Structure 1
Amino acid sequence: MILGEHSTPEAIQALHHSLGLDLPLWEQFTRFVQNLFTHGDTGASIAWGTSTRELIAERAPVTLLLIVMASVLAILVALVLATLAATNKDRLLDHLIRIFPTITLGMPVFWVGLLLILFFSVRLGWFPVGGVGEGVAGTLYSLTLPAITVAFSQIPTLVRSLRAQMLEVLESDFVVTLKAAGIPNRVILTKHVLRNSALPTLMLLGVNISYLIGGTLVVEQVFGIKGIGSLLFSAISKRDFPVIQGIALYCAISVVIISLLIEISSWLLDPRTKGKQ
């Protein structure tokens, strides 16, 4: 693959030696593991000839920013919709919000992205069709539509979970006592209901963000964003195995870090764990 179809046996032998492919398998694997733990690298790219760590580090900021924007957007929209549904139980607004997750859960994220491009970019011209703008404002503006696309797949499950938890808390005895004491509904919702309803939804959010990482890679390809997603698809098409291994490794590490942060956040939100080791 590196030398091309018309390479000579001497060139192939020299390349095998430079890559260490003429060494015993156990020694090749030992070198790979040492390089992984000492440099955080899975080797040199076959297609680009540079370190996979450098390639991923160059593309990672755009992907991370897209994930953060999509997560924040999904949380805000889910919070508003779930609160409206829970406070208007069995009314028209509640039924409309409950229908929304049922419809949107079956929509592929790349298809939603194409629809948003056709409507907001091609027809209305509000957002660019693809790519990343220059500067902070240009980058945020160009990533708005992709962030909406990614968040669209996360909102339904968050709304359903948070609504169910809020209804359970609203019907609890302590909320009835607070209402009888004349506490305003706004205070009850913000200080008591949301706090006690957030923990299960927060755990679900951690799982969703793990899936969101994979969905973001597909959305980057749809919107032509030069992030980790486009790098992954290019590496797959060129059979650049070190780059594919590196992306899989760093995505797995990201999932572990996110799970740890969610566990810490749930520990801080759950009052029953306060004062316990």
Structure 2
Amino acid sequence: MRIVQAVPVAFGVTVVVFLLVHLIPGNPAESILGAQATPARVAALSKQMGLDESLPQQYLHFLDNIAHGNLGQSYTYQTSVLSLVLQRVPVTLLLVLYSVVLMLIISVPLSAWAASRPGGARDHAVRVVPLVGLGMPQFWVGVMLLLVFAVGFKWFPVGGYGQTFSQHLWYLFLPALTLAISVSPVIIRSLRSSMLNVLESDYVATARSKGAGGWSLFSGHVLRNAVIPAVSIVGVNVGYLVGGTLVIEQVFAIPGLGSLLIGSIQARDFPSVQAVALFVAVFVVAVGVLTDIVYTLLDPRVDLTRRGDV
């Protein structure tokens, strides 16, 4: 069962996160002490933080802390890492959700528009979108949107997050659009292909013979069945969006997990880096499990206990 398989995956994530963090060059004790760093002081602070222990011992302490809901103390902020992460999580999750909504707003109409006239001018025009979109790096798209709509037209703020929910939506529109543009090409290609297969099916031909057409045919027969194969692609790309937010948050100066991660890496703040990386990895695993659940709700013929290859 996929949910059961997620347990060893989550355990593997802790190993990878721990090892990757400890591959970051530099000694956190030296970064904290700065100009006051001497061999004696570095050694004393390293012992105080447990950095003088072997990696296996540090990893066991890391697991023990996770089991007790303790992700450690930030070297930089001198506060609980868990509280730091929980402060930033809502910002990043709102950005991801906003991106998914914009992604669907872009992808579904374009896919339907292209599939309605396969081989026609509109189909060829939409098929160019994935080729162009996949060739544009996220940060470049973000910078271009900033230059045009924030600096040029001044329609949106250059960066920040705002104070109220309506301000959050306004401030996050350009970064969310950046992420949606980067993912939409893959969704459009997958959804268009699924729609074409559904349109050629016998049950759609039967529905047409009974007089169904237009929006009723599309919503009742085409879209629901075309979405099923595309769900897995959407789920994978939602996980990709989470990783993308870490970069885009830097471009737009958003106080989410991305800015916390970059700042913690620069400061050699191991506990903070581990906490952010762990959250992102576990979130991606959770999205995979949720994708399977949604898949089975859309198509009851699928047995979740046997579906472990998606």
TM-score when normalising by structure 1: 0.93
Q: Give, as a single letter, the amino acid of the residue that structure 1 aligns with 2:246.
A: L
Q: Residues of 1 paired with 2:300 and 2:173: CA distance?
A: 36
| Deviations 1:20-54 (CA, angstroms, capped at 9, x unpaired) | 3455665443322111111141x222222222211
Larger relative contact order, structure 1 or 2 (CA cutoff 8 Å, min sep 6): 2
- Superposed displacement of residue 247, structure 1: 1.0
Any gaps of 5 or more consecutive residues in structure 1?
A: none
| Deviations 1:148-194 (CA, angstroms, capped at 9, x unpaired) | 00100110010010000100110111111111111233212101111
Report matched runs for 1:1-277 at 5 Å. 1-7=31-37, 11-21=41-51, 26-41=56-71, 43-273=72-302
Q: Residues of 2 paired with 1:101 and 1:220: CA distance?
A: 24
Q: Residues of 2 paired with 1:262 and 1:202: CA distance?
A: 7
Q: Residues of 1 paired with 2:165 and 2:249: CA distance?
A: 18
Q: Residues of 2 paired with 1:25 and 1:174: CA distance?
A: 60
Correspondence for 2:16: none
Structure 1 residues 269 and 51: alpha-carbon distance in aligned structure 2, compared to 1, 3 A threshold: same
Q: Residues of 1 paired with 2:54 and 2:164: CA distance?
A: 49
TM-score when normalising by structure 2: 0.83
Partner of 2:77: helix, strand, or coil?
A: coil
| Deviations 1:227-264 (CA, angstroms, capped at 9, x unpaired) | 11111111122222221111110001100111111100
RMSD: 2.0
Q: Give, as a single letter, the amino acid of the residue that structure 2 aligns with 1:70.
A: S
Structure 1 residues 239 and 22: alpha-carbon distance in aligned structure 2, compared to 1, 3 A threshold: closer
Identity, % of aligned positions: 44
Q: Give, as a single letter, the amino acid of the residue that structure 2 aligns with 1:233.
A: I
Q: Residues of 1 paired with 2:70 and 2:207: CA distance?
A: 54
Aligned length: 276
Q: Residues of 1 paired with 2:287 and 2:119: CA distance?
A: 35
Whether contact under 8 Å (1:179, 1:185) holds in the other structure is: no
| Deviations 1:117-136 (CA, angstroms, capped at 9, x unpaired) | 11111111110011111111
Q: Residues of 2 paired with 1:194 and 1:124: CA distance?
A: 37
